Chains A and B, each alone.
Chain A
């Protein structure tokens, strides 16, 4: 979706402000939100792509004005209500009002912790061969789905060069919407700064994105 989350190339947000000796969390609730998101993601079938889409789908003023973990909280709660895993009435009451079917993988418990503190593999075998090879010129498609996609706006329609083939991975555009993992070849595609930003761009700039094969046409 063309949301405010797709920030590459936007102006006006000001300088980068660095906090010295920043702690992992600024409030204890932030850690709880992070942990709940990971836990429900790991055992509940609410995959990372669905969680990302839920965050992107927050209204733009909310997205821009909320702290990072507040966005995670709002998105997780909304997603779980949307899937019927919890009720809006339960959120209002602050407690469970009824029983619910267990998560696909059961209660997230201590035995599951190691599984979420190391990244899993997103690699999935496919029967096809990659359509592109390093050195090939490709054009990022001009697509504007209202659903989840990982092709940022700032490269759409632009020509780049395939640099690496990174294997075949779960396709977020499908997985975010319960349409299966639908694995696709994944490439690193490099664009020159001038291709993306015009003649005034820094001539030494090159930008790469990680692009799934359905995002690309031969150029």
Chain B
């Protein structure tokens, strides 16, 4: 099993799911389908290397570099590909810009499609029924669950990720951040602000 063990089962007893999953992994290994070390490497990648920090750096760059922002909104996969140090990103990424007139929110009503390379693995709420069912019908109600209230005239645009295109919300840069470095800006770009269920957080 993985060395990065998050099990909450504190006793010595293995849970039913641990046993069932271990059995399947044993079978797949004995069949020669998978090398467990390669599974370890996948798990480790998503636990330690790929997370919302990747997306935050892209957003901070877009806030400070108008040419990059234009390129990002034109072809996000290509634009991010020029930032070798941020993240390798696959195809079909679309960046959508929040403005005073329009707020974007991303959902996958059918499963859990999410821009993994930019944000890491999706949180449970993104994959669960309350968000998937309500985001397309009552997005302001969903935003209220997150403590976010937008002006009543703001257009709410919900992007349902029903194909292999993926969406990254480019939030609005908060006032009071003039002159900040990209690193400082990246620190206030939350995961939820890039899904559209939150706003960047400036600490008072």
Contacts and interface: CB of A to CB of B under 8 A. Distances in A.
B34 A36 contact: yes
B32 A13 contact: no
Contacts of A61: none
B133 A8 contact: yes
B130 A16 contact: yes
Interface in B78-109: 88-92, 94, 107, 109
Contacts of A205: 139, 155-156, 158
A11 B33 CA distance: 42
Interface string A131-150: 00000000000000000001
Contacts of B197: 16
A71 to B, nearest CB: 9
Contacts of B94: 164, 166
The interface residues of chain A, by DSSP majority, are classed as: mixed
Contact of B34 (A40, A119, A166, A169): A40
Interface string B152-170: 1111111111111110000
B61 to A, nearest CB: 20
Contacts of B128: 13, 16-17, 68
Interface in A104-132: 107-110, 112-113, 116-123
A11 B138 CA distance: 10
Q: How large is the interface on A (under 10, 10 to 19, 20 to 34, 35 or more residues)?
A: 35 or more
A8 B132 contact: yes
Contact of B33 (A7, A19, A103, A212): A103
Interface in B98-157: 107, 109-112, 116-117, 120-121, 123-125, 127-140, 142, 145-146, 152-157
B145 A15 contact: yes
A179 interface: no
Interface in B10-54: 15, 17-28, 30-35, 37-43, 45-47, 49-51
Contacts of A26: 6, 8
Contact of B123 (A18, A116, A197): A18
A152 B162 contact: yes
A118 B88 contact: yes
A23, A33, A103, A208: residue with the most chain B Cβ atoms closer than 10 Å: A208
Given A9-B137, A25-B47, A107 B39 contact: no
Interface residues of B, number: 91
Given A16-B131, A186-B165, A205-B139, A32 B33 contact: no
Contacts of A62: none
Given A186-B163, A205-B139, A207-B136, A73 B111 contact: no
Given A27-B7, A94-B26, A120 B91 contact: yes
A166 B92 contact: yes
Interface string A64-81: 100010100100110000
B28 A34 contact: no
A110 B140 CA distance: 45
B2 interface: yes
A26 B38 CA distance: 20
A162 interface: no
A206 B160 contact: no
A59 interface: no
Given A29-B21, A44-B33, A122 B6 contact: no
Given A16-B142, A23-B47, 16 more contacts: A6-B110, A8-B136, A16-B146, A22-B123, A25-B47, A27-B17, A52-B110, A73-B17, A85-B31, A108-B33, A108-B38, A112-B38, A119-B89, A119-B166, A204-B152, A204-B155
Q: Which 6 A-B pairs have the closest CB atoms?
A: A119-B90, A8-B109, A210-B163, A96-B30, A94-B23, A31-B43
22 contacts: A5-B110, A7-B133, A9-B137, A11-B134, A13-B134, A17-B130, A22-B123, A26-B6, A27-B15, A29-B17, A32-B2, A36-B25, A36-B28, A39-B33, A90-B27, A95-B23, A102-B32, A152-B109, A166-B165, A196-B137, A204-B156, A207-B160
